[in-house]
Amino acid sequence: MTTTAPRPTKPGRSDDGRGRRWPVAAAAAAVAAVGLVARRLRNGGGPAAPTEPPPLRVPRRGTARRPIWSAATARATIPARHLRTDAWWVQPLITVVVLVLFVAYSTFRAFQNAYYFSEPYISPFYSPCITTRCEGDTFPELFTGPAWISPAIYILVVPLGFRLTCYYYRKAYYRSFWLSPPACAVGEPHGKYTGETRFPLIVQNVHRYFFYLGLVLNVILTYDAVLAFRDETGAWGHAGLGTLVLVVNASLLWLYSLSCHSCRHIFGGRLNHFSRHPVRYRLWTGISTLNGRHMQIAWVSLVFVALTDLYVYLLAADVITDVRFF
Ligand code: FES
């Protein structure tokens, strides 16, 4: 399979078929000659009258029609408030409600600085826990931070930056919070549109780097899920509901990363010939399938990471006890 047209053969490179091309060229010339004679006969047999080229029409200054829409000028103008007959506002409303609830809950938990570890489980909001003041012992303690700074603050910038700059979430919150526009065929309050071409929105282009950092975090959360196959005494070969929760959470985060648009470009972008890169082509095909579900995976993984934290929180606060499988 090739993504570009095949290169023409260089002149003189191959002359094997030169002999076979002569009859074809002769036949084409004969057909052209017969066509010419027939046209002359239709025109009375005389020489064909020279045809005048149509006069060039040069648009006069100031008379050209303005484009209906131009990024440099203004947004499309819809006189009616919207052209929709369905409940178009439901989706942006759900987006606002879920994102506000998630931000409120995660902010509370990140600053709470407690109830994030219940042997052998650690909350994904606090992993990797990298200060000497961390509860539990799941990751090397790298430094002693001020006691009033929650260990979650040091690492939350990665998942937060990854989600904030995600192509799907951008669409979701541009529509829901900035109403830019709130939905297709719905008027918006903004008179101008500059896209992501200038500060601050041009910073969204760092998404690829958050993708790389997110992969590191996924490895650590997978490591946490493996540690969850122990019991409270540290003996291996045990599992409980918390183990299942941590495994599902890590799996969903991997799916979220692998379905990312940047991931798809890393594997399949900048290639002119897929046929010369069969492995990358196969990976790109699989990632493209996941990428088609990126929106759904984004929501499910977001909600589940909050539920995972909630489960560990309730265990650590002795509100519930873990269900042990074996
Ligand atoms: Fe959503 Fe990259 S596009 S995570």
In a domain, 175, yes or no: yes
> Is the link from the previous residue into 128 a cis peptide, with omega within 30 of 0?
yes
pLDDT value of residue 16: 45
- Asked whether the beta carbons of 186 and 88 are under 8 A apart, the reply is yes
Atom of ligand 1 nearest to the CA of 294: 1
Closest CA to ligand 1's atom 1: 166
Helix 90-112 and helix 151-164: axis angle, to 10°?
A: 160
Angle value at C-alpha 206, between 205 and 212, nearest 5 degrees: 130
Residue 26 maps to a domain: no
Question: What's the gap in Å between 282 CA and the centre of ligand 1?
Answer: 20
Residue 4, pLDDT score:
41
CA-based nearest residue to 166, from 124, 103, 208, 219: 208
Residue 63 lies inside a defined structural domain of this protein: no
| DSSP bridge pairs for 236 | 230
How far is it, in rounded angstroms, from Cα 93 to Cα 97? 6
Q: What is the 3-state secondary structure (H, E, C) of 126-154?
A: HCCCCECCCCCCCCCCCECCCCCCCHHHH
Residue 200: is the preceding peptide bond cis (ω within 30°)? yes
Q: Does residue 16 belong to any structural domain of this protein?
A: no
Tell me if 144 is assigned to some domain.
Answer: yes
Q: Give residue for tokens 């995660």.
A: 106
Kindly list the protein residues whose Cβ atom lies closer than 6 A to any atom of ligand 1.
166-168, 207, 211, 260-262, 294
Whole-number pLDDT of residue 55: 55
pLDDT at 1: 39
The Å distance, Cα 70 to ligand 1 centre, comes to 28
Closest C-alpha among 167, 203, 173 to residue 102: 173
Rounded Cα gap, residues 37 and 54, in angstroms: 26
State the SS3 of the chain: CCCCCCCCCCCCCCCCCHHHHHHHHHHHHHHHHHHHHHHHHHCCCCCCCCCCCCCCCCCCCCCCCCCCCECCCECCCCCCCECCCCCCCHHHHHHHHHHHHHHHHHHHHHHHCCCCEECCEECHHHCCCCECCCCCCCCCCCECCCCCCCHHHHHHHHHHHHHHCCHHHHHHHHHHCCCCCCCCCECCCCCCCCCCCCCCHHHHHHHHHHHHHHHHHHHHHHHHHHHCCECCCCCECCCEHHHHHHHHHHHHHHHHHHCCHHHHHHHHCCCCCHHHCHHHHHHHHHHHHHHCCHHHHHHHHHHHHHHHHHHHHHHHCCCCCCCECC
326: in domain: no
In angstroms, rounded to a whole number, what is the distance separating the alpha carbons of residues 244 and 225? 8
CA-to-CA dists, residue 30 to 24, 26, 48, 153, 240, angstroms: 10, 6, 20, 82, 85
Site to probe by mutation for ligand 1, drawn from 167, 171, 208, 210 as the one with most ligand atoms within 8 Å of Cβ, is 167
In a domain, 23, yes or no: no
41 within domain boundaries: no
* Residue whose C-alpha is closest to residue 151's, from 122, 131, 124: 131
What pLDDT does residue 6 have? 40
Instruction: Say if strands 117-118 and 121-122 run parallel, antiparallel, or are unpaired.
Output: antiparallel
Domain tally, the chain: 1
Distance from residue 253's CA to the centre of ligand 1 (Å)? 11
At residue 188, the pLDDT reads: 81
Cα 117 from Cα 22, distance rounded (Å): 83
Write out the residue range of the structural domain in which residue 97 sits: 90-316
Index of the ligand 1 atom closest to the CA of residue 260: 2
pLDDT tens for the chain, 326 residues: list them. Answer: 344 444 444 444 444 444 455 555 556 666 666 655 555 555 544 444 455 555 545 444 444 444 444 555 566 666 778 888 999 999 999 999 999 999 999 999 999 999 999 999 999 999 999 998 898 888 888 888 788 899 999 999 999 999 999 999 999 999 999 998 889 888 888 878 788 888 999 999 999 999 999 999 999 999 999 999 999 888 999 999 999 999 999 999 999 999 999 999 999 998 999 999 999 999 999 999 999 999 999 999 999 999 999 999 999 999 999 999 99
